[in-house]
A and B are shown apart, each in its own frame.
Chain A
Amino acid sequence: MTNRTFVMACLAPLFIFSLAFLALPLIRLFLVSGESDAGWAIYLDIVRKPRYLNTLVLTVLVSLATTFAALAVSSTAGMFLVRNRFRGRGTLLAVLTLPLAFPGVVIGFLIILLGGRQGLVNQLTPGHVVFAYSAIGLFLGYLYFSIPRVLLTVMAAAEKLDPALEEAARTLGAAPHRVVIDVIIPGLMPSLIASGAIAFATAMGAFGTAFTLATNIDVIPMVIYTEFTLSANIAMASALSIVLGIITWILLLIARSLSGSTVAGGG
């Protein structure tokens, strides 16, 4: 066997598997989305019908809020952990990165333990404080799985940031907030955009968390699920899946072009 045939033979299983279980199913998904009475105009229905449009807007809003909150929290914590060495640093880092592979359902349940009917907040505060099943609960759930993802990307970039630049700014008389705005944020910008795109894409597509928490409100993954299982509106479920898939794919492409690797995984 020549070298070239051997290399080609090595790629064959991957090629066959991804053709059979990725390419063909995705083509089928696309074709099915045009098979309803509405035809290809179904993609227009997503922005024309209030039910889908409102859901889309809500999903984008919650995901945006999650992204900015996660960026603020994780870049602060990330800079702090990179610049300071102290006892317990490793433990803090472990706590902040461990939820990386928790499934979305588990995170949803953890938010219920915080803000559900039997939750911690409801027990500690007077009155009836239940927020787990609202947009706030969803936001907290998404934040929970976004913090580790953003943190890892930002920390990798912060390691490469030169502390001498900040010192120079300080000796030249810059106030702490000016150092952050003029030196640290521009230096971290590519990683902030990249990790922001990752956080946004993961939040948009999060099914597990929404599945446990979104009993009263609708987000896109839940609508896809109910259209498919309850309404048997398979064309709409497929069309929404394709739109959602394209959005998240483009976002992660941006993320990958700005910072080496992606930390992905479903929420």
Chain B
Amino acid sequence: MFKSKVKMLQLAVTLSACAFLLVPTILSVMAGLTVNYFKGISSGLTLKWVYQVWELYADSIFLSMWLAVACLFCTLIIGLPAAYGLARHPGWLSRLLEEFISLPLAVPGLALALALLQLYGSMKGFRASWTFILVGHVLYTLPFMVRSILAVLASMDLKTLEEGAASLGASPWQRFRDIVVPNAMPGILAGALTVVTLSIGEFNLTWMLHTPYLKTLPVGLADSYASMRLEIASAYTLVFFILIVPLLMAMQWASARAQRITQ
């Protein structure tokens, strides 16, 4: 099947790339499960490190989950109506607004966090609460939600559907609830999974916004990389993988599904 030299070369490059991405991941999983990583797998397998991670960092894992749910809620409340508004009111102003809220995709999280800190850092109550981190997460994930829904809404003939409903006497709110939301569902699902996945893995903003009492999962990871033994850091990474990989796969599935609809 792969007879020609060119194909063999292509295959070699593809497999090397896979190895480069996969080998360190496997190393990390192994390191989290071996008694002594330096002695190797012959020192035996154990769940000791995973238990230890749970004792040390359970709070950060729960905080991340809670933040992801809250972030999903906020991005839905803000993003769903906004995507509808942008789809119904296309024009340069909407383009500009969409472009503007997409800035957090381009501008590094570090810069956004710095900007937030300088404006709101002096409001002690807000600065020290979990809602400050939440604002960062919503800022970063909102464009994904809006664009995901907007792509689906833009691909269908929203105007005709709504005119039909309006001629039957449906109010704007009824049309939004009964026509827009059900039709936008694939986009909402893809957006929601993206928001949750990105929120759980967010580090660049969170590292600047967090306080010592509010550590999210990735912040805890950075902490363990700097100060814990390799086995604990690896076990913690393993816990993170177990959480994030299914979400990632679901996200890719939902995004591909939403994309098929828009084509």
Asked whether B207 is an interface residue with its Cβ less than 8 Å from the other chain, the reply is yes
Structural contact, B119 and A1, CB atoms closer than 8 A: no
Structural contact, B111 and A14, CB atoms closer than 8 A: no
A14 vs B234: C-alpha distance in the bound complex, in angstroms?
40
Which applies to chain B's interface (DSSP): helix, strand, loop or mixed? helix
A21, A32, A106 — which one has the most chain B CB atoms within 10 A of its CB? A106
Which of chain B's residues 60-116 have a Cβ closer than 8 Å to chain A?
77-79, 81-82, 84-86, 88-89, 97, 100-101, 103-112, 114-116
Inter-chain contacts of B109 with A (CB < 8 A):
205, 207, 266
A14 and B79 in contact, given A86-B1, A103-B202, A207-B204 (Cβ under 8 angstroms): yes
Structural contact, B106 and A248, CB atoms closer than 8 A: yes
B79, B119, B146, B147 — which one has the most chain A CB atoms within 10 A of its CB? B119
Structural contact, A264 and B204, CB atoms closer than 8 A: no
Q: Least Cβ distance of A48 to chain B in Å?
A: 22
Instruction: Write the chain B residue with the least CB distance to A72.
Output: B13
A264 and B85 in contact, given A25-B116, A29-B118, A241-B114 (Cβ under 8 angstroms): no
Asked whether A55 is an interface residue with its Cβ less than 8 Å from the other chain, the reply is no
Asked whether B18 is an interface residue with its Cβ less than 8 Å from the other chain, the reply is yes
Inter-chain contacts of B45 with A (CB < 8 A):
none
A55 vs B237: C-alpha distance in the bound complex, in angstroms?
30
Say which residue of B146, B173, B203 sits within 8 Å of A208 (CB atoms): B203
A97 vs B77: C-alpha distance in the bound complex, in angstroms?
30
Structural contact, A241 and B97, CB atoms closer than 8 A: no
Asked whether A233 is an interface residue with its Cβ less than 8 Å from the other chain, the reply is no
A248 and B79 in contact, given A95-B22, A105-B218 (Cβ under 8 angstroms): no
Asked whether A63 is an interface residue with its Cβ less than 8 Å from the other chain, the reply is no
A251 vs B107: C-alpha distance in the bound complex, in angstroms?
10
Residues 65-108 of chain A, each 1 if its beta carbon lies under 8 Å from chain B, else 0: 00000000110110111001010000010111111111111101
Asked whether A183 is an interface residue with its Cβ less than 8 Å from the other chain, the reply is no
Q: Least Cβ distance of A203 to chain B in Å?
A: 11
The tally of residues in A whose CB lies under 8 Å from a CB in B reads 89
Inter-chain contacts of B78 with A (CB < 8 A):
13-14, 17
Structural contact, A113 and B172, CB atoms closer than 8 A: no
A103 and B203 in contact, given A7-B85, A21-B116, A113-B24 (Cβ under 8 angstroms): yes
Say which residue of A1, A23, A29, A109 sits within 8 Å of B111 (CB atoms): A29
Say which residue of B17, B27, B111, B205 sits within 8 Å of A120 (CB atoms): B27
A266 vs B141: C-alpha distance in the bound complex, in angstroms?
11
Structural contact, B28 and A113, CB atoms closer than 8 A: yes
Asked whether A245 is an interface residue with its Cβ less than 8 Å from the other chain, the reply is yes
Instruction: Write the chain A residue with the least CB distance to B80.
Output: A10
The tally of residues in B whose CB lies under 8 Å from a CB in A reads 91
Structural contact, B114 and A11, CB atoms closer than 8 A: no
A99 vs B21: C-alpha distance in the bound complex, in angstroms?
8
A77 vs B12: C-alpha distance in the bound complex, in angstroms?
9
Asked whether A181 is an interface residue with its Cβ less than 8 Å from the other chain, the reply is no
Instruction: Write the chain A residue with the least CB distance to B105.
Output: A264
Which of chain A's residues 185-215 have a Cβ closer than 8 Å to chain B?
201, 204-208, 211-212
Residues 25-66 of chain A, each 1 if its beta carbon lies under 8 Å from chain B, else 0: 110110010000000000000000000000000000000000
B20, B27, B234 — which one has the most chain A CB atoms within 10 A of its CB? B20
Q: Least Cβ distance of B95 to chain A in Å?
A: 12
Q: Least Cβ distance of A130 to chain B in Å?
A: 14
Structural contact, A1 and B110, CB atoms closer than 8 A: no
In the assembled complex, 30 residue pairs joining A and B whose CB atoms fall closer than 8 Å, in A order, are: A1-B173, A8-B85, A9-B81, A13-B78, A13-B82, A17-B78, A29-B115, A77-B14, A80-B14, A95-B18, A101-B201, A101-B244, A105-B218, A106-B201, A109-B28, A110-B25, A112-B225, A114-B24, A143-B20, A144-B21, A176-B4, A206-B108, A207-B207, A208-B207, A211-B203, A221-B108, A252-B105, A264-B105, A266-B202, A266-B203
Q: Give chain A's interface residues, CB within 8 Å of chain B.
A: 1-3, 6-11, 13-15, 17-18, 21-26, 28-29, 32, 73-74, 76-77, 79-81, 84, 86, 92, 94-106, 108-114, 118, 120, 143-144, 147-148, 176, 201, 204-208, 211-212, 221, 224-225, 228, 234, 237-238, 241-242, 244-245, 248-249, 251-253, 261-262, 264-266
